[in-house]
Chains A and B, each alone.
Chain A
Amino acid sequence: MLKGLGSYKKTVIFVHEWALAEAVISTILTVAKEEGAKEITEAEIKIGSLQQIEVDVLTFAFQELVKHTPLEKTEIKLKSEEAHFKCRACGFEWNFNDAMSALGGDEFEAIHFVPDLVHAFIRCPRCGSPDFEVMGGRGIWVEYIKISR
């Protein structure tokens, strides 16, 4: 059960969101087993804007992958987090939206696959340094899961 997201009608999925969804589901199932869960009631998944994950596609992958697993009735909440950066040289902070205009399609694709590759393509807007930190909103992670024992 996915909350707050539309359904994705494609029957074939060729994108790497599937790989990310598999990783998330595998993690939730492993943690739930380790914790002796009788039921997994809720899971919150955070999606950082840097990776530009297509939420519709991710939702479809989740819908397919949870079938016949203990996650079939789990409420999976997807929440986004804006990517933001901090320059290690001058301390300036900015967000991904500010940086997007400098990027082309190939750069977006590279960052989509491996978010850390952003370091090849953007620089601090204030001092031009390539030495900056991704402070948040990098990729995909499980914020928490709720279980019954």
Chain B
Amino acid sequence: MGRVHKNFKIRAPDPRLAIIDERLKDVERIIVVVSGKGGVGKSLVATTLSLMLAKRGHSVGLLDLDFHGPSCHIILGAKGVMPTEEKGIIPPDVHGIKLMSVVYYVGDEPLPLRGTEISDAFTELLAITRWGRVDYLIVDAPPGMGEEVLDIIRLMRRSEFLVITTPSSLALKTVSRLTRLLLEVKVPVLGVIENMRITETKLVEKHAKMFGIKYLGSILFDHDLEKCVGNPKRLLGTKFAGNIKDVAKEIS
């Protein structure tokens, strides 16, 4: 028998990182809705896609990761709900979706977080949220490619990315940078959705072709959409939701 060497003192990594995979182990698929640009409709796509998947009989979680401007709860008209505390926190059911957001805790207060603080808050949320068994976890990521997107790539390793853009050349330029990043780090990209289309253009289709990713179709600018914010039933009746239904079929 070899000699036993005692009392090696070892430093340990952040304990929260060790538990994240366990928290996500019963999540079948993680779909992250991203765009380099703000204002292209990520939250509406993420929330409507969640509603559509739930309507198709899937169990769905929705994680609003926009710490500076959470809005999924507004689209869903979530009121009077809070996570329950049970060996962690369990997101409440909002119109058939398990919704998690910092808004439960900060309400309408501004949350002025810098990069490392965002990373810490995100890690904490992932470590304590118990999603349970869900078919789809939809993640509404904020614009850009900062902490949230990098941490999704680092911590939610099975993530598949759904890129949203408008046909504006300004949006596409930024979306191209993000697409390049996603392909560089070799994460699965489900495709790109062209949102808020007003006139006939092939810009987004060309973008998809150039990067070798799937063009998941275009969504016409829907003037009635704003009136449906806060009312999921009405939202599901819009043309926008009809287009998202096609996307849901395509990716599920």
Q: Which residues between 109 and 134 of chain A lie within 8 Å of chain B, taking CB atoms?
A: 109-110, 113-117, 119-121, 130-131, 134
Q: Does B222 have its Cβ within 8 Å of any Cβ on chain A?
A: no
- With contacts A16-B88, A131-B112, A146-B8 known, is A120 near B106, CB below 8 A? yes
Q: Are B10 and A23 in contact (CB under 8 A)?
A: no
- Between A18, A19, A38, A144, the greatest number of chain B beta carbons within 10 A of the residue's beta carbon is seen for A19
Q: Are B8 and A130 in contact (CB under 8 A)?
A: no
Q: Which residue of A lies closest to B119 (CB)?
A: A116
Q: Are A147 and B128 in contact (CB under 8 A)?
A: no
Whole-angstrom distance between the Cβ of A93 and the nearest chain B Cβ = 17
- Between A23, A116, A146, the greatest number of chain B beta carbons within 10 A of the residue's beta carbon is seen for A116
- With contacts A114-B125, A131-B112 known, is A147 near B87, CB below 8 A? no
Which one of B11-19, B54-62, B184-192 is at the A interface? Answer: B11-19
A20 to B20, CA, bound (A): 11
Q: Which residue of A lies closest to B5 (CB)?
A: A149
Instruction: Identify whether the interface residues of A are mostly helix, strand, loop, or mixed.
Output: mixed
Q: Does B181 have its Cβ within 8 Å of any Cβ on chain A?
A: no
Q: Which residue of B lies closest to A134 (CB)?
A: B117
Q: Which residues between 14 and 30 of chain A lie within 8 Å of chain B, taking CB atoms?
A: 14-16, 18-20, 22-24, 26-28, 30
Cβ contact of B127, chosen from A19, A31, A130, cutoff 8 A = A19
A112 to B86, CA, bound (A): 14
- With contacts A14-B86, A38-B4, A117-B105 known, is A145 near B110, CB below 8 A? no
Cβ contact of A144, chosen from B11, B18, B130, cutoff 8 A = B11
- With contacts A14-B86, A19-B87, A31-B13 known, is A148 near B19, CB below 8 A? no
Shortest Cβ-Cβ A-B pairs, 9 listed: A110-B105, A19-B88, A142-B12, A23-B19, A116-B121, A18-B87, A26-B18, A27-B15, A27-B18
State the B residues within 8 Å of A (CB): 4-19, 22, 85-89, 102, 105-106, 109-114, 117-118, 120-121, 124-125, 127-128, 130
State the A residues within 8 Å of B (CB): 13-16, 18-20, 22-24, 26-28, 30-31, 35, 37-39, 41-42, 106, 109-110, 113-117, 119-121, 130-131, 134, 138-149
